[in-house]
Amino acid sequence: MTSESAAAAAQPTVYGYPRQGRHRELKKAIEGYWKGRVDADGLRTAAAGLRRANWQQLAGAGIHEVPTGDFSYYDHVLDTTVMVGAIPDRHRAAVDADALDGYFAMARGTQDVAPLEMTKWFDTNYHYLVPELGPDTVFTADSTKQVAELTEALALGLTARPVLVGPVTYLLLAKPAPGVAPDFEPLTLLDRLLPVYAEVLADLRAAGAGWVQLDEPALVQDRTAAELDAAARAYRDLGALTDRPRLLVASYFDRLGDALPVLAKAPVDGLALDFTEAAAANLDALAAVGGLPGKRLVAGVVNGRNIWVNDLEKSLSVLGTLLGLAGRVDVAASCSLLHVPLDAAAERDIEPQILRWLAFARQKTAEVVTLAKGLAQGRDTITAELAANRADLASRAASPITHDPAVRARAAAVTEADARRFPPYGERASAQRHHLGLPLLPTTTIGSFPQTAELRTARADLRSGRIDTAGYEERVKAEIREVISFQEKAGLDVLVHGEAERNDMVQYFAEQLTGYLATQHGWVQSYGTRYVRPPILAGDISRPEPMTVRWTTYAQSLTSRPVKGMLTGPVTMLAWSFVRDDQPLGDTARQVALALRDEVNDLEAAGTSVIQVDEPALRETLPLRSADRPAYLAWATESFRLSTSGVRPDTQIHTHMCYAEFGDIVQAIDDLDADVISLEAARSHMQVARELAAHGYPREAGPGVYDIHSPRVPSAEEAAGLLRTGLRAIPAERLWVNPDCGLKTRGWPETRASLENLVSAARTVRGELPAS
């Protein structure tokens, strides 16, 4: 096929779409099912309606080939675990008894059975359920979901392409099951898994699939020769099948590197590659291997992870270059649109000109369609769209929002000494012990307490004008009083005010900082039914006035025990926002850090002795390629220290991280120079405590003993067992006792019981320590 015919054949497509519905109907239906208000048929009907609406919207917008199988009740990796029959033994009976309830038990756990571990999906804020595999794992195919959703789409008269997690990525994401040797490598199960994929592919072909997409994002990470050989073997075998649809192997989030020639040589029918800025090297690499003659190339030129309008001229230039490198070039977003909100047009509170800078899933779909039209029919057919796009890009570049001279001057004046805390930790630790007077194994929580229906109603009443600000603040104070009272009665040592006034740990601060924009409907799935509204970091950042001091000091006035000040760190403020792409991330992080430094100093001046600056996103934002990591970690750790280094030695600085793989950033954790770090550890059985010990981490740490993402209440003995495990790695004088994460999503009954058990466990284990 010539480049001209490749262009003429160009079609628009996407890899996935937001699942929740315009008004988060999926969240409401699932939580209604959990609470018994919606039956299984009602949930299935609601889900089918959302899938149908998504497909019809995509087709109506001009998408040629809609994705199926990307929809999920909880997580698409968990769906893959079901598809290949890798059900953990402890959940087998529940799944056999009721597939839907068993599915949710794997995700959330029950009072008697722990859920699967949860961690971040590559460098995004989406969480997946980690497969648990071992040498005795038996795979069996169950294509029920995949076939059913394909059949639904075909019945609507649509061209549909099922999307599956690829076998190599599935195994590389897996962990050894409990009781399996920790050095077991799930990838050794590949030959056992491939026949199951072959069976699923045959089922999908029989159901009418012309193409099936196999997602292999794990191949954009650094991979060993053995792992690349496994990928080559996997797609040699799958490509050689006779009873299969055409195969499209997709990667995204970064450049493929050494994996690109492996996939280019594989006997598959097409590749889907990321050609956005983060993965621009894919273009040269594709040319270097001779392209994909006679094959389909799906070019991800629209950023599927950020919300800024595409530079259409630049994307058309890339697409034009690609025309000579493949038999057919189609146009897509760089990854699933799961990672962006649904529709920018729903935002009524953003100034119209600024709104034109933004592209959510529906707008990105339109960009993909426009680019495919321009590629297939010529630029003359999209003249109006190109002119409007140039105007929008120019408007953003010239806006005063994006350039505050005072902010830039302050950031430029920062010195290395500003990001160093003095004196060294050993001297600070002694001063803090004297000042705080805490026992061994001090107990605390991570920050938030349950956001009750009454709180949410009060917030809605304030927005609608049914109550005034004074009435709302009285309700918040009442909640703080309840939270402080409970913690005192439960016996916690370092208290929190519970964050009753906060809608979200990033949005709350974003709404009080210049340079940020807030959305009303910009919901994005974080995990399961947990959705967040990431703010939009559009311009230079400063703090007009204190953000948290009044609430923290009010809480401290209610108790003689220390109350932690609670802030969100600069890296997380970037990672959990849609961040500006017109300057280096490190420059933006420094601006946020200086705003937070002012808040930290004001908290200390108001009498706060313990200040926690959360950085749960430090690991998730880690570049996927090791060569890119040192530069990132340099500005990320500097920005944290810049936030926290202006306080006295006896002020204790905490940080918190959760639901990520910490082993490869232990040095960075050390470089933060926080006095205390709390980390998720309950589902991973204190793995992080062992990693800290192996590194020789010298400061205090609180590996979590209470998994807050499950409704189950851990017993006092269970928590004590985890503490004893922690003590084998971290000495008692440096070990804290806390949950994995904040308690915002939990209910009060389970929170009370769990924290009471946590305190009881600490007292029990404290009593077992040898007398000093």
Q: How far is residue 706's CA from residue 446's CA, in Å, rounded to a whole number? A: 11
Residues forming beta bridges with residue 132, ordered by sequence position: 175
Q: Which two tokens stand for residue 671?
A: 């470089």
Q: Count CB-CB contacts under 10 A for residue 267.
A: 12
Phi then psi dihedrals of residue 660, to 5 deg: -155, 170
Active site residue 709: yes
Is the dihedral angle over the CA atoms 496, 498, 501, 505 positive or is it negative? Answer: positive
| Residues ≥6 apart with Cβ < 8 Å to 461 | 467, 471, 472
Helices (H), 304-349: 312-322
Report which of 463, 645, 492 is spatially closest to residue 555, judged by C-alpha positions: 492
Report DSSP state, residue 735.
Answer: B
Contact 116, 129 (CB under 8 A): yes
| Residues ≥6 apart with Cβ < 8 Å to 491 | 443, 759, 763
Q: Which two tokens stand for residue 667?
A: 């040095």
Q: Which residues of 435-458 are buried (b: 16+ CB within 10 A; e: fewer)?
A: bbebebbbbbbbbbbbbeeebeeb
Q: Which two tokens stand for residue 101?
A: 């309830």
Residue with tokens 């799930």: 186
Q: How far is residue 390's CA from residue 394's CA, in Å, rounded to a whole number? A: 6
Report which of 569, 509, 578, 579 is spatially closest to residue 544, judged by C-alpha positions: 509
Task: Please name the amino acid found at residue 565.
Answer: G
Report which of 423, 432, 421, 429 is spatially closest to residue 645, judged by C-alpha positions: 421
Q: Say if strands 211-215 and 270-274 run parallel, antiparallel, or are unpaired.
A: unpaired
- Strand residue runs (E) in 73-177: 118-120, 127-129, 132-133, 160-165, 175-176
Report which of 482, 511, 510 is spatially closest to residue 497, judged by C-alpha positions: 482
Q: Say if strands 326-333 and 211-215 run parallel, antiparallel, or are unpaired.
A: unpaired
Q: Count CB-CB contacts under 10 A for residue 385.
A: 18
Residue with tokens 């230039």: 317
Q: Which residues of 397-431 are buried (b: 16+ CB within 10 A; e: fewer)?
A: eeeebbebeebeebbeebeeeebebeeebeebbee
Q: How far is residue 468's CA from residue 470's CA, in Å, rounded to a whole number? A: 5
C-alpha R_g of the chain: 26
Phi then psi dihedrals of residue 269, to 5 deg: -100, -10
Contact 305, 334 (CB under 8 A): yes
Catalytic residue selected from 91, 339, 521, 709: 709
| Residues ≥6 apart with Cβ < 8 Å to 481 | 558
Task: Please name the amino acid found at residue 255.
Answer: R
Report which of 13, 368, 369 is spatially closest to residue 158, judged by C-alpha positions: 13
User: Which positions are catalytic?
Assistant: 709
